[in-house]
Chain A
Amino acid sequence: MSESTATGYNFAYLDEQTKRMIRRAILKAIAIPGYQTPFASREMPMPYGWGTGGVQVTAAILGPDDVLKVIDQGSDDTTNAVSIRKFFEKTAGVATTTRTVEATVIQTRHRIPETPLGAHQVLVYQVPIPEPLRFLEPRETETRKMHALSEYGLMHVKLYEDIARHGHIATTYAYPVKVADRYLMDPSPTPKFDNPKMHRSNALQLFGAGREKRIYAVPPHTDVVSLDFEDHPFEVNRFDKPCALCGAEDVYLDEVILDDAGARMFVCSDTDFCEQRRADGHSGAMTGATR
C-alpha cells in the first residue's frame, strides 16, 4: 500500500461482511444474465446519482493487485472519474491508470472504451434506473411479473412511439437489450453506439444501481441483442466527420463548442483512446496543421 492510503478504513472502504454480501449478489447476477438481483445497498460517502452502485461493486471485486481505471462520459479527467479514482487510491491503495489496456477493473459511466476489452478485465457500470420498463409501467410488482413471464411487448410499445413521433427509433441512450435471449435489460445510459460492444464481450460486465439496490451482469461471451422492428432495424449513431484531434472514424464523438460564433469540433469521447492514437502519430483536422 502506498503512503497516501488512509488508515482506519478496511481495504476498499466497505467492511468484509458487506463485500461478501455484494459478491453473493454478483455471483447470482452472473448466474442469471440480465436479471436484476436485489442487494443491501449501503450508504456511501457520495450522493446517489454519482455512482454509489458502481462504487460498491468495484469495492467488492477489487483486490490489492488490481489496476483501476475510472471513466465518466468516456473521459478519465472529469470530476466524477477523478474523485472515484482518488477514493480507491486512498481507501484501497490500489494502482490506478487511465490506460484501458493496463486496467483490470474499469468503472464507467455512460461509455464503453473504444479499445476492445480482454478476458482479464471487468467493466463496472454505474446505473441510475435499472428497470427498462419503469417509464411505461410504474409498479414494481408488475414489472417483476413481466420479467418472470417474459412479457416484453410493452418495450416495443415505446419503440413504436418513437417511430410514430420521429419517423425512426429516436432512443439514443439506455437503448433496451435482451440478454441471452431471456431478460430485458437496461444497458445503463450508455449511447446505443456502445450496445454492439456488449454483445459477446470478452470481459465480464457488472452493473450496480445503488439507490435502486440492484445488481445485474452480463457474463463474457453472452448474447446482447438490441430490440428493434423488422422494418426499422437497430442502427448505431453515425458521425459525418472523423475525430478532429486524432482522425479516428467509427468511434463515438463529443461535440465541443469553440467560441460564441458557432465554431465547433467533434472529438473522441474516449480520451485515452484519442491520446494513444495521437501518440502513435495519428492526427485530425485540427492537429494536422500545427505539426
Chain B
Amino acid sequence: MIAVEQPLLAVEGLTRYYGARVGCRDVSFELYPGEVLAVVGESGSGKSTLLSLLSAQLEPSAGSVAYRMRDGVMRNLVELNEAERRLLMRTDWGFIRQDPADGLRMSVSAGANVGERLMGIGARHYGAIRGEALSWLERVEIDADRIDDLPRTFSGGMRQRLQFARNLVTHPRLIFMDEPTGGLDVSVQARLLDLLRGLVFDLDLSVVVVTHDLAVARIISHRIMVMRHGQVIETGLTDQVLDDPREPYTQLLVSSVLQV
C-alpha cells in the first residue's frame, strides 16, 4: 500500500464579513507539505483578509482552518487557546510581511532579531544562539560582520532577507508571506526570489504567498488561486492558469502584465 500524503492545512468554507461587507467568502483548499500556493488578485480582493484568517490573526465569521500539528493531529485553529496559537506562530509558522519594519525589531541588532525566537522557546546559551544566528545570516547572504548592526542600517533587500532568517530559525513548516517582494527594485526582487525558491526547496517548506505580482507567483508557486471580490474565481497549477486562463477576469489580469 502506498501511504497517501496528508494535507498540512485544510481550509473549509472560510468566510469573513466586516459588518455587511464581505472580506472573503467561502474559500476552501488544501495545502500539502512542500507545496507553494500563490493567492493573486487586485487590491481589495480579499487576499490579505484570507492570509490573516489562515494565520489565526483574525477570527472567521464562518468556516474552519485545520492545521496538522507536529504530532500529526489535525487541529482546528479556532479551538486552540491563545497560548497555543502564539506558540505555533513563533515556532512552527513564519510570517513574512511586506514591510520588513513590521516583521523585524528595528531597535535591536540583526543577531538578536534572528535569536529572538530561539530565546522565546528557552535557549539560554549566548554562544549557541549567536552561532545559530551567524549560520542563518550566511544562509540568507548577509555578511557575518553585520550581525551586530541594527536593521535600520540595512538596505530594503537585506531587511527582507533578515526577516526570512528571523522566521526560519526555528525550522517552521508553514510560512505565510504577504507581498514579500513589494517595494523592492526589480534586480533585488529577482535575487530575493531566487534565494526564496532555494530555501523553500531545501527546507521543504509549505508556503501561502499573497501577491499582486503575477511574475512572483509564476517563479515560486506550484499552484495558484485567483481572488476577486472576496471569492476564489479560478484555481489550478500555476503554469496552467497563467498560460491558459479561463475566467475573463484572470485573462484580464494576465494580459495587463507589461511585456518588455
User: How far apart are the CA atoms of A154 and B112 in the complex, in Å?
Assistant: 10
Chain B residues lying within 8 Å of A153, measured Cβ to Cβ, are: 116-117, 119-122
CB interface residues, A 155-172, toward B, < 8 Å: 156-158, 160-161, 163-165
* Contact in complex: B126, A160 (CB < 8 Å): yes
* Contact in complex: B116, A154 (CB < 8 Å): yes
Q: Give the size category of B's interface with A.
A: 20 to 34
Q: For chains A and B in complex, what number of residue pairs have CB atoms within 8 angstroms?
A: 55
Q: Name, among A149, A151, A160, A230, the residue most crowded by chain B CB atoms within 10 Å (CB to CB).
A: A160
Q: Give the size category of A's interface with B.
A: 10 to 19
- Given contact pairs A149-B86, A165-B148, A160 touches B111 in the complex (Cβ within 8 A): yes
* Contact in complex: B125, A230 (CB < 8 Å): yes
Chain B residues lying within 8 Å of A20, measured Cβ to Cβ, are: none
User: How far apart are the CA atoms of A153 and B117 in the complex, in Å?
Assistant: 8
A229 at the interface (CB under 8 A from B): yes
Chain A residues lying within 8 Å of B130, measured Cβ to Cβ, are: 164
CB interface residues, A 215-236, toward B, < 8 Å: 229-232
Q: Name, among A151, A163, A164, the residue most crowded by chain B CB atoms within 10 Å (CB to CB).
A: A164
Taking the nearest CB of chain B, how far is it from the CB of A164, in angstroms? 5
Chain B residues lying within 8 Å of A230, measured Cβ to Cβ, are: 124-126
Q: Which of A149, A158, A164, A229 contacts B124 (CB 8 A)?
A: A229
Chain A residues lying within 8 Å of B83, measured Cβ to Cβ, are: 149
Q: Which of B86, B105, B109 contacts A164 (CB 8 A)?
A: B109
Chain B residues lying within 8 Å of A161, measured Cβ to Cβ, are: 108-109, 112
User: How far apart are the CA atoms of A154 and B130 in the complex, in Å?
Assistant: 15
User: How far apart are the CA atoms of A232 and B124 in the complex, in Å?
Assistant: 9
* Contact in complex: B126, A232 (CB < 8 Å): yes
B247 at the interface (CB under 8 A from A): no
Taking the nearest CB of chain B, how far is it from the CB of A186, in angstroms? 19
* Contact in complex: B82, A164 (CB < 8 Å): no
Interface of A (DSSP majority class): helix
Per-residue CB contact flags for chain B residues 127-165 toward chain A (1 = under 8 Å, else 0) read: 101100000000000000001100000000000000000
User: How far apart are the CA atoms of A185 and B147 in the complex, in Å?
Assistant: 29
- Given contact pairs A151-B86, A230-B124, A231-B127, A164 touches B112 in the complex (Cβ within 8 A): yes
Smallest Cβ-Cβ distance to B118: which chain A residue? A153
Q: Name, among B83, B124, B125, the residue most crowded by chain A CB atoms within 10 Å (CB to CB).
A: B124
User: How far apart are the CA atoms of A203 and B63 in the complex, in Å?
Assistant: 56
CB interface residues, A 193-233, toward B, < 8 Å: 229-232
B115 at the interface (CB under 8 A from A): yes
User: How far apart are the CA atoms of A153 and B130 in the complex, in Å?
Assistant: 15
Chain A residues lying within 8 Å of B115, measured Cβ to Cβ, are: 157, 160
Taking the nearest CB of chain A, how far is it from the CB of B48, in angstroms? 21
Per-residue CB contact flags for chain B residues 92-124 toward chain A (1 = under 8 Å, else 0) read: 000000000000010111011001110111101
User: How far apart are the CA atoms of A157 and B121 in the complex, in Å?
Assistant: 12
Taking the nearest CB of chain A, how far is it from the CB of B136, in angstroms? 15
User: How far apart are the CA atoms of A229 and B116 in the complex, in Å?
Assistant: 14
Per-residue CB contact flags for chain B residues 3-37 toward chain A (1 = under 8 Å, else 0) read: 00000000000000000000000000000000000
Chain A residues lying within 8 Å of B86, measured Cβ to Cβ, are: 149, 151
CB interface residues, A 165-181, toward B, < 8 Å: 165
Chain B residues lying within 8 Å of A157, measured Cβ to Cβ, are: 105, 108, 112, 115-116, 119
Rank and list the top 9 A-B pairs by shortest CB-CB distance, nearest first.
Answer: A153-B120, A156-B119, A153-B119, A229-B126, A230-B125, A149-B83, A160-B112, A164-B148, A157-B112
| Interface pairs (22), CB distance under 8 Å | A145-B82, A149-B83, A151-B86, A153-B116, A154-B116, A154-B120, A156-B119, A157-B105, A157-B115, A157-B119, A158-B108, A160-B111, A160-B119, A160-B126, A161-B108, A161-B112, A163-B126, A164-B109, A165-B109, A231-B125, A231-B126, A232-B126
Q: Which residue numbers of B lie inside 8 Å of A, CB to CB?
A: 82-83, 86, 105, 107-109, 111-112, 115-117, 119-122, 124-127, 129-130, 147-148
